[in-house]
Each structure stands twice: as C-alpha cells, then as structure tokens.
Amino acid sequence: MTIAENLAALESRIIAACQRAGRKRSDVTLVAVSKTFGADRVDEAIAAGVTHIGENRVQEARDKKPQVRGTARWHLIGHLQSNKANDAVRIFDVIETVDSVELAQKIARASDAARDVLLQVNVGDEPQKSGVATGNVDNVVQQIREVDGIKLIGLMAIPPIGDPRKHFRRLRELRDQVGLEQLSMGMSEDFEIAIEEGSTMVRIGRAIFGARG
C-alpha cells in the first residue's frame, strides 16, 4: 500500500476512536514518525495531508529536514541530550521530551522565541526510561512554567508494554491536575486506546510508512 492509502486507512481508525470517545476528530493531531525513512517518503506523507512530522534523533532530522520540500511542523519525540539543545531548537517546532527543569532552561537559552515543549513523564516508573516521576510532575511543571522562553503545552509519555489504558488514564489525570492542554500518547499499536483516554497527539510511524528495514 502507498503512504496515501495507509493514511486513509489510519484516518478511518482515528475517526472511529474519536466517535467511541465522544470526541471531535479535530481534537487529535497526527504526528507522522518518519525515523529511518528518507526525505522523499516524508514529502509523500506531506503531499497526502500530513502536517506534523516526528523524529527521534536530532542528527537524523538535521540531515533530513533540509531535503524535505513540503512544509510541516517538526516534533522531537526522542530523548534530547542537553548538548544537542542548540541543534534541536533550530530544527524542531515542538520538543516533546523535556525531562528536567535544567533541560528546559538550556532550550530556553538556545531559543530566540518561545519554544513549545511537552514534559515527558515516566508514567510506568520504569528505571530504564527517561521522564519525570509521576510524583514529581506538579513540582517540575511549576518550575518550567517560570522559565522564560519556554511554552509548556502538555505532557508526553511512552507507557510500559501491556495494559496501556491504565497508564494513559494516569497521564490524563496528571495533565488535568496541572492544567495543561496537550497530551501526547499513543503509537501504532495502541493509539486507539490513547484517543479513547484523551490523547491530543498520537505519534504514528509504522501504520503510515510501513515496517522499518
């Protein structure tokens, strides 16, 4: 199937999930995750209607973005090392993986305008994953809100494998608790559950671009 055909099938599933949850389709932003795929495939997705592109690695996006002809908002959805903050702010419109006040401060110093960011939460309290502990979200959100040059718009998480619904629900509760708007959760294998639980951004790669080599 072509990317356009994959997007059409995906769109039907997103609409159905929104209907089950009593939500509007416009409530959910599709972020097409293009990691390992070339600029030509990104342009194909943009031509088919994609308006948000997600990349995991700063270096890959730095090499790829100049070759992309189409226009989209670029999201960093992978871990950001503090020494890559300068590159990240030049490449990305949204940084979804801020996991400390210090990183937010570094992004702010590197930015020439207010930068949209999300706070990554380690919603499953997994030691191998990045993200703020669930019990520390309130405190970190308050501190990041005081950082000039940063616009904190929501929370993001990658839940543990198995039973994602309870983790999506927990992230939504945390988002509501701190009074933010965006909720980035859900990937190819679980985005429908994420939408049912309130996700406003779904990060989908395989269902759009196919299996990675």
From start to end of 63-205, where are the E strands? 73-76, 94-98, 115-122, 132-133, 150-156, 182-184, 201-204
Cα 43 to Cα 20: distance, rounded to the nearest angstrom: 32
**Which residues, 6+ apart, have CB-to-CB distance to 157 below 8 Å?**
120, 121, 122, 123, 131, 167, 171, 184, 185
**Could you report the per-residue pLDDT of 85-108, keeping only the tens digit for each?**
999 999 999 999 999 999 999 999
CB 72 within 8 Å of CB 33: no
Domain of residue 173 covers: 3-209
Q: Is the pLDDT of residue 212 over 80?
A: no
Q: In whole angstroms, how far apart are CA 165 and each of 124, 159, 195, 199, 203? A: 12, 9, 10, 11, 16
| 176-211: pLDDT as tens digits | 999 999 999 999 999 999 999 999 999 999 999 998
Question: What confidence score (pLDDT) does residue 68 get?
Answer: 98
Average confidence (pLDDT) over 25-45: 97
CB 101 within 8 A of CB 140: yes
Length of the chain: 213
Phi, psi (deg, nearest 5) at residue 153? -110, -10
Task: Read off the pTM.
Answer: 0.96
Please, which residues have CB within 8 angstroms of residue 180's CB and are 6 or more apart in sequence?
Answer: 141, 152, 153, 154, 155
Instruction: Specify the 3-state DSSP secondary structure of 203.
Output: strand
Is it the case that residue 213 has pLDDT exceeding 70? no
Q: How far is CA 2 from CA 5, 11, 15, 21, 30, in A?
A: 5, 14, 20, 29, 18
Residue 158 buriedness (CB in 10 A; 0-12 / 13-18 / 19+)? buried
pLDDT in tens, 115-170: 999 999 999 989 889 999 999 999 999 999 999 999 999 999 999 988 899 999 99
Query: Radius of gyration over alpha carbons of the chain, in Å?
Result: 16
- CA dist., res. 107 & res. 84, Å (int): 9
**pLDDT band at residue 113 using 50, 70 and 90 as cut-offs:** confident
In the chain, how many domains are there?
Answer: 1
Question: Domain containing 72 — which CATH number?
Answer: 3.20.20.10
